Structures are given as C-alpha cells and as structure tokens.
Amino acid sequence: MMRSQTLSAMLLALLACTVMPTAFAQQVPLQDKPFAEHKIVLQLSDGEARKQALVLSVANNLLKAYDPDEIAIEVVAFGPGIDLLLSGSERRKQVESLIAQGVRFDICLNTVDTIERETGKRPEFIPAATPVQVGVGQILFLSENGYTLVRP
C-alpha cells in the first residue's frame, strides 16, 4: 500500500514538472486594450540597423492607420534584436515615443543573461522595455491569444 502511494506521488510530481513550465512560461499579462480589434506582434531578432528601422516604421504606420485604442502592437526583441532596446541605442527616442503611444516593447531576458555570461557584463536596457523570460515564448503566447505575427 505504501509503495503504491509513493509511486502515485512520484508520478504526480513528474506530471507537474512537465506541465508547469508551459503554464508558467509566460509571466507578462496581455496589453490592457480590451477594445482592440487588431492585435499585432512584431518579431525583432535581427541586429541590423535597417531591420530595426523597418520594425519601428511598421509600428508607426500601424498607429497612423488605426485608432490607438483599436490596435494592440507588441514588439518582441530577442537575440541580436535586443540591440534596439539597449540604453545606448541611437533609436532610443523613437522607441520611447512609440511606448508613449501604447506600443509595448518586450526584451528577452534569456538573451540578456546569455550576453552577461559571455561578456561578464549585463547589458543595460531602456527602463520602459518590458522584460520577458523567453522572447519566442512571448511570441507563441501572443499568437495563441489572437495576435498576428509579423516578421518585417
């Protein structure tokens, strides 16, 4: 009897370990835009200046085309794409302007942690950026919640 209970407890613990990471992978709530008819997630995984400028341009154009309450825009930066959100970015003012207009910029903490491990120095990112543990996980979460993924 005791052996059966121990085995059951071990199986439940194993099941919890396999299910919980998926459930808790996303810690950042969705944007507070209950009337948004359009939901867009822009992927930024490229450190190239032209690609970053394109992502900013797409976000700007969407804000011009739609009422800000009707559209939720989220930019998820991971890998080399986080360069846009670093404190010393030459496009920092553009990013902060878009944030002031309701665009959310997410920065992947896995990428930040990797850079810190490789260089010994943690990169500083703009305070207005929203830290997410896994950038690709954030994109998946948003896609599962009605956001359309765009990779400019």
Q: What is the pLDDT of residue 27?
A: 56
Q: What's this model's pTM, rounded to 2 decimal places? A: 0.81
Confidence band (pLDDT; 50, 70, 90) for 7? very low
Q: Is the pLDDT of residue 16 over 70?
A: no
Q: Which residue has the tokens 């559209």?
A: 71
CB 57 within 8 A of CB 89: no
Please report, for the chain, the start and end positions of each structural domain, with discontinuous segments joined by +: 35-150
C-alpha 91: how far from its chain's center?
19
Q: Write down the CATH superfamily of domain 35-150.
A: DsrEFH-like (3.40.1260.10)
Predicted confidence band of residue 11 (pLDDT cuts 50, 70, 90): very low
Residue 32: pLDDT over 90: no
pLDDT of residue 46: 95
Mean pLDDT, residues 131-150 taken together: 96
